[in-house]
Amino acid sequence: MQPNEDKGIGMNTRIFPRMLLACLLVAPSLAQAAQPLILTAPPRETPAAAEQLYGPLAAELTKLVGQPVVYKYPGLYMGDWGTYSHRMQKGAFTFVFDGPQFVSWRMKYLHDVPLVSLPGHLAYVVATSNPQINALKDLIGSRVCGLDSPNLLTLSFMSRYSDPLQQPIIVAIDSGGFPAIYRAQLAGKCSTAIYRDSYFKHHLSAVQRSKLRVIYTSATPMPNQTLTASPDIPAAARARIIAALSNPEGAKPAAPIFHRFARSATHFIPADPAAFQGLYELLTPLGWVSGWVPKPDPNASP
C-alpha cells in the first residue's frame, strides 16, 4: 500500500499549486465584478444634499441594470469642478447626469451614450441696466455677471467673441444661482448679466424685469441636462432605463431631481444624440490646465 499512498501524495502536491494559481487568476475578476457601478453629477450641492438628490436614482438604476449602482460625490468639496472634470475625463463614472457640453465631450471621446434628458431646453438672455449698451459688441472689455465656468450658458455667451482680447470680463458667481446673479447686478458688481431664459421670464417679477433690458437672446436652444451611460452598459439595459425613466411611474425615484431642476416635470424624455453635436467645442477655451482641449478623434483612422 505504501507505493499507492506515495502516488496519491504526489498527485495532491501537483494539483494543489494548480488550484492555487487558478484561484489567484480568478480573484481579480471576481473583485472587479463586485465593484458597484457609479452614478455622479456636478458638485453643485454639498455631499449630503447630493446623496439625497441622486441616491434614489442610483437605487432605481440598480434595478434596471441588474448590478449595484451607487451615487458617488465627484469632487472634494462643493464647487470642485476641477476634480469633477479630471475624473470625468479619465472615465471614472458609469452614469453621469450633467449639461450638454459635457455629454457631447463624453460622446466624442469616451463613446458614452445619452439616455434621457430633462424636458425643455437650455437658452439664455443677456440683460443690462446700462442705457449705453445695446448689443454684444458694446460689452467688449465690460464686466458681465454669469455662473462660474464651465457653466453652459456662460461658455455659450463667451463663444460669441472669437477674439479672446475682445471678450467681456466675467464676474463669476459660484454659488446661489441666478438669484445671486440678479443681486450682484443690482449691487453694481456688473451692469449686464447672463440669465437662463426661463428664469428671466418666469422667476423674475415684472418689477424686477423692468429694471433690465434684454439686448441678446441665444438663437439655438440646447438640450437640457442629460443622463449618459458608459459604452460597457449593454444595449438592453440602456433600453430598460430609457423606457422606465420616460414615463411618470418609472421616473418617480427622480422626483428630487425634477424638484431641483425642472419643477413641472414628471418624467424624462429620450435623449436625441444629434442635438449634442459639436457642443463639446464650448469647453475648448477653458484650456490645457482643465483638460478641455482638442484631442485626437477616436473614430479617425490611424
Q: What is the pLDDT of residue 297?
A: 58
Alpha-carbon torsion 40, 45, 48, 50, what sign? negative
The residues, any chain, with a CB within 8 Å of residue 26's CB and separated by 6 or more, are none
CA distance 230 to 92: 10
> Which neighbouring-strand residues pair with 194?
126
What is the spatial distance between Cα 78 and Cα 98, in angstroms, rounded to a whole number? 15
CB 214 within 8 A of CB 126: yes
Residues 6+ apart with CB under 8 A from 173: 145, 146, 147, 148, 180, 181, 184
DSSP-based three-state secondary structure for 65: helix
In this prediction, residue 150 carries a pLDDT of 86
Which residue ranges form the domains of the chain, and what is each CATH number?
Answer: 35-118+223-286 (3.40.190.10), 124-219 (3.40.190.10)
Quick count: other Cβ atoms within 10 Å of Cβ 186?
13
Cell numbers linked to 149: 465656468
Amino acid 4: pLDDT? 52
Which residue carries 434614489 as its cell?
Answer: 56
Residue-by-residue DSSP string for 204-273: S-HHHHHT-EEEEE-SS-EE--EEEE-TTS-HHHHHHHHHHHTSTTTTGGGHHHHHHH-TT-SS-EE--G
Enumerate the H helices of 41-134 as residue ranges: 47-65, 81-89, 100-109
CA distances in angstroms from 9 to 16, 126, 140, 179, listed in the order given:
11, 84, 87, 79
* pLDDT the model gives residue 248: 98
Q: How buried is residue 34: exposed, middle or buried, by Cβ count under 10 Å (0-12/13-18/19+)?
A: exposed
Residue entry with cell 472634470: 85
Going by their DSSP bridges, the two strands 37-40 and 69-71 should be labelled as parallel
Mean pLDDT by 10 residues, the chain (302 residues): 51 50 45 78 95 98 97 93 91 97 96 98 97 96 92 93 90 90 96 96 95 95 97 98 98 97 95 96 67 57 44
pLDDT at 298: 56
